[in-house]
Amino acid sequence: MINIFKIAARNLLRYKRRTLLTSLLITVGVVMVILFSGLSGSFKQMMIGLITDATLAQMQIHKKGYVSSIDTSPLNLNLGPKAYGKVRDMLEKNPLVESYSPRIKLGAMLSNYKETTNIRLNAIKPDSEIKVCPALPDRITFRDRESGQGLINPGEIIIPDKLAKGLKIKQGDTVVLVAHNKEGSVNGLNFTVAGVIESVAGPQGKEGYIHIKDARDLLRIDKPEVTEVAIRTRDFNRIDMLYAEINSALAEYKNPKGNPMFEIHTWEALSPFYNIARMIDLMAMSMKIIMIAIVLISILNVMMMSVYERIREIGTIAAIGTAPGKIMGLFLAEGFSLGLISTLFANAIGVGAIYILNIHKITFSFGRTENLLLSPSVNFNELIWVSAIVLLVSIFATIQPAYKASKMEPVDALRHV
C-alpha cells in the first residue's frame, strides 16, 4: 500500500504545474467553505446568543392564542395564578430546565413631561430573568449603579436607547408611564430611569424593562398573573427534546371548551432571525456543492489526462503482470493523494485565515444593532466533514479513469503512440 502511494505521489510530481494548479483550485474551494462556515457560523451563533441570552430566552410558554395576537399585547390572554402554578410545577420537575422566568408584557405611554410616546415593556422578576437571559445586563448601560443593586428595582425603568435619545431622557430622570388595564381603566406611575438598553434586531429587541411588581400596580392586577414564562435549558443542543417534553406535558391541560390551555414556542418560532439562519445554512450548503463540483471536475479532468498520457505505461505494467485491480488502485491512490494534499493545505490556510480574522477584530451592523463583534471560529467537526467530502469526491472522480486504465488490453496499450 505504501508503495502504491509512493508511486502515486511521484506521478503527481511528474506533472508539477498541472498538479499545482488543480491542487490550488481545490484548495481555494475548500478555503472558501471553511471561511464562509467560520464567518457565517460565528454570525449565526452570535445572533442566536443575542436572541436567546439577551432578549427572548430559549423558549416561551403562553396562554393559547397569545403569540398570534402578540402585536397588541393582549392582557386578557395572561396566565392566571392557577395556570402559572401548573406551568411552574411542571418546569420545576423537568431536569432539562435550568431556569425559568415569569414576565408580564404590556404596552404603555411614556412621557418625559414634555413629550409622550408609545413604549412596549417587559415586566420582569430581575433575579429570575438574569438566570434565563444571562446576557441581558450586557445590553444595559447603568449610571452610578453599584454592584449588588440588581438589574432593576421597583420604581425603576430601563428605556430603549433610541427612545431615550429621541426624548432626550437621561439616566436618573423621572418619567411617567400610563397604561390601560384589561378592564380599560387608565393608571399612571412615576419611574426613575435606571438605565438605557441597547436595541437589537428582532422581537423584544426594542422593549423597555420594569419590575414585575410595578407592572401589577400599573395594571391594577391583584392576582399574580403573568403573560409568558421564559425558559432556559441546561443544554442548548437538547432544546428540541425539552420542547417535546414540555409540549407533551402542557397538552394535558385543557380549557373548559376542551382546547389546549397553553402554547409553547422555541426561539426559532418567535424570531424572524431563524429564517435568516436557515438562509445562511442554505448558502453554506451551496458553497459546499460548488466545492464538490470544483473537486469533481478538476480531479476527473486531471485523472483522465493522466490515464490518456500514460497508456503505454499502463500497457507495460499490465504486460509484466500487474493485476487490473492494482492498476485501478494506482490511479485511485493518485486521485486520493491529490485530494488529501489539497485538503490538508486548505485546512491549514483556512484555519490560519480565521486566526488572522480573529486578531483583526471585525465589527459590523445588523439591522438596528451596531458594532457587533464577529469572532469567526473553526468548527473542527466542519473541517473533518469538509475534508471527508473532498476525499470521497476525489475517489469518486477517479473511479472512471482508474477503471478505464484497469480495463485496457495490454497489447493495445503497448501499441499506443
Question: Which residues in this chain contact other proteins in the complex, by CB under 8 A?
Answer: 3-4, 7, 10-11, 13-14, 312-313, 316-324, 326, 409-411, 414
In the complex, the smallest distance separating the C-beta of residue 318 from other proteins, rounded to whole angstroms, is 7
In the complex, the smallest distance separating the C-beta of residue 22 from other proteins, rounded to whole angstroms, is 18
Return the residue matching grid coordinates 469538509: 386
In the complex, the smallest distance separating the C-beta of residue 401 from other proteins, rounded to whole angstroms, is 18
Number of helices and strands in the chain (H, E): 13, 12
Return the residue matching grid coordinates 464567518: 39
Return the residue matching grid coordinates 466542519: 382
HSE-up (13 A, CA, CB side) for residue 393: 24
In the complex, the smallest distance separating the C-beta of residue 14 from other proteins, rounded to whole angstroms, is 5
For residues 15 and 236, which CB has a smaller minimum distance to other proteins in the complex?
15
For residues 15 and 366, which CB has a smaller minimum distance to other proteins in the complex?
15
- SS3 label, residue 151: coil
Check: CB of residue 356 under 8 Å from CB of residue 38.
Answer: no
Q: Using CA atoms, how far apart are residues 395 and 381, in angstroms rounded to an integer?
A: 21
For residues 10 and 143, which CB has a smaller minimum distance to other proteins in the complex?
10
For residues 11 and 233, which CB has a smaller minimum distance to other proteins in the complex?
11
Q: State how far the alpha carbon of 221 is from the alpha carbons of 76, 182, 185, 207, 256, in Å.
A: 11, 9, 12, 21, 23
Q: State how far the alpha carbon of 150 is from the alpha carbons of 172, 206, 212, 275, 381, in Å.
A: 16, 21, 14, 35, 40
Q: List, as one string, the DSSP characters of 347-398.
A: HHHHHHHHHHHHHS-EEEEETTEEEEEE-----HHHHHHHHHHHHHHHHHHH
In the complex, the smallest distance separating the C-beta of residue 302 from other proteins, rounded to whole angstroms, is 16
Cβ atoms within 10 Å of 181's Cβ, excluding its own:
14
- SS3 label, residue 24: helix
For residues 161 and 313, which CB has a smaller minimum distance to other proteins in the complex?
313
In the complex, the smallest distance separating the C-beta of residue 336 from other proteins, rounded to whole angstroms, is 17
* Rg of the chain, C-alpha, whole Å: 31
For residues 202 and 335, which CB has a smaller minimum distance to other proteins in the complex?
335
For residues 322 and 358, which CB has a smaller minimum distance to other proteins in the complex?
322
For residues 13 and 241, which CB has a smaller minimum distance to other proteins in the complex?
13
Q: Are strands 59-63 and 262-266 parallel, antiparallel or unpaired?
A: antiparallel
Kindly provide the residue ranges of all beta strands, DSSP E only, lying in 112-207, ordered along the sequence. 116-124, 140-142, 156-160, 174-180, 186-197
In the complex, the smallest distance separating the C-beta of residue 330 from other proteins, rounded to whole angstroms, is 8
In the complex, the smallest distance separating the C-beta of residue 18 from other proteins, rounded to whole angstroms, is 14
In the complex, the smallest distance separating the C-beta of residue 305 from other proteins, rounded to whole angstroms, is 16
For residues 103 and 310, which CB has a smaller minimum distance to other proteins in the complex?
310
